A = this chain, B = another copy of it.
């Protein structure tokens, strides 16, 4: 772990067929998809991209804030192209439909609550789930 004589990326991000494919497939999807879902979707449209590359690309997109990552209850991560502004999600447990919600209320509450306990450098996770109007019909 002293130097990088092997091939540690130095910061250049190349454009490849695979990265483009993953990005646009994710954009077209609109909702949340797991890496596996995305891989299948790509395969269906004839784009051959290795699952490892799908994971790598998603991780990269997530680190730049281009996609949102959600850790589902079953432990699998799902991704979605997402506005970069801080916000939370309202997800339908039935059909997966997702709405973005912003909340100065929670933001303030979370911060206040944390400071009250002497915590600093506060972050938070808020997820709301329910059954959407369509699925209630």
Contacts and interface: CB of A to CB of B under 8 A. Distances in A.
Interface of A: 71, 73, 75, 77, 90, 92-93, 99, 101, 103, 105-106, 109-110, 113-114, 117-133, 136
Contact of A117 (B75, B90, B118, B127): B90
Contact of A90 (B77, B103, B119, B121): B119
Interface centre among A119, A124, A132 (most CB of B within 10 A): A119
A115 to B, nearest CB: 9
A129 B125 CA distance: 8
B130 A121 contact: yes
A113 to B, nearest CB: 5
14 contacts: A90-B114, A90-B117, A105-B109, A106-B106, A106-B126, A118-B136, A119-B133, A121-B131, A122-B130, A123-B128, A123-B129, A124-B127, A125-B126, A125-B129
